[in-house]
Homo-oligomer: A and B are copies of this chain.
Amino acid sequence: MEYEIPAGGRADLYEQLARIGKVVVHPKRIELLDLLCQAERSVEALAAAAGLKLSTASAHLQVMRQARLVETRREGTRVYYRAADEEVCRFVTALGDLGRARLAEVDQILRAIGAGRDGAERVTRAELLERARSGEVVVLDVRPVEEYAAGHIPGAVSLPLEHLEARLGDLDPGLEVVAYCRGPLCLLAPEAVATLRARGMQARCLEDGLPEWRQAGLPVATGTDTLGGAPAGGHETRLGRRR
């Protein structure tokens, strides 16, 4: 059921753009797209992450595919979806930015849930680059490991929020921590920072998340060669002292 090539004039142009609009008219589709901007995932994983039945998730994904915003890759019996293009992530970012700029409710929700910028200034990308080079800070990627593997700030350490408590002792108390997550609408990094500060550690959030980092043209590393969140090889690894 491919889209036929439109015959008419200008009107069709906006009709085509509305195909994209159709994707972001449903909250769950925005959520799915947001997830896909972090890393590719199977339908099952997406359904679980967004709290959807499999058939429903699949249907949503078809809508996104018809708008060409996502593409698929088959691996055995499993189908992996991914954002089709960097431009797609830029669009999702723009949507989030617009939401924060225009909808007071968005800020209210963020604040209510706890993303309150509790007095803490965020670290700018420029500042992080400078301070990371001189080894003054540990950069913590608090997203799930799959997302870290799909792309992360070079030199960042993967430590998913769920494992933070367990590995607190491995963090060098002498170094400041800079945590980042999916972006300004994501609460992982703010929560991590709150936890760390409760223990008296120096910690701040990075402005925005990985997608924005990538969109800024900064380098992104892939793979999970570093110490993962799930302590695989015992606990003798010490975070924040790499080289």
Nearest-neighbour CB distance to chain B for A48, whole angstroms, equals 15
**Pairwise interchain contact B185-A13, C-beta atoms closer than 8 A:** yes
Residues of B within 8 A of A94 (CB): 90-91, 94
Is A9 engaged at the interface, CB distance under 8 Å to the other chain?
yes
Residues of B within 8 A of A88 (CB): 98, 102
**Pairwise interchain contact B91-A98, C-beta atoms closer than 8 A:** yes
Bitwise, A173-201 to B at CB < 8 A (1) or not (0) is 00000000000010100000000000000
Chain copies in complex: 2
Is A10 engaged at the interface, CB distance under 8 Å to the other chain?
yes
Nearest-neighbour CB distance to chain B for A236, whole angstroms, equals 36
Is A126 engaged at the interface, CB distance under 8 Å to the other chain?
no
Using a CB–CB cutoff of 8 Å, the interface residues on chain A facing chain B are 3, 5-6, 9-28, 30-31, 34, 67-69, 84-85, 87-88, 90-91, 94-99, 101-103, 105-106, 108-110, 113, 185, 187
Residues of B within 8 A of A9 (CB): 109, 113
26 interchain pairs, CB-CB under 8 A: A5-B105, A6-B108, A10-B113, A10-B187, A12-B109, A13-B106, A14-B27, A16-B103, A16-B109, A17-B95, A17-B99, A17-B103, A18-B26, A19-B103, A22-B25, A68-B102, A68-B103, A69-B98, A69-B102, A84-B102, A85-B101, A85-B102, A87-B101, A90-B97, A90-B98, A91-B97
**Pairwise interchain contact A106-B24, C-beta atoms closer than 8 A:** no
Residues of B within 8 A of A34 (CB): 14
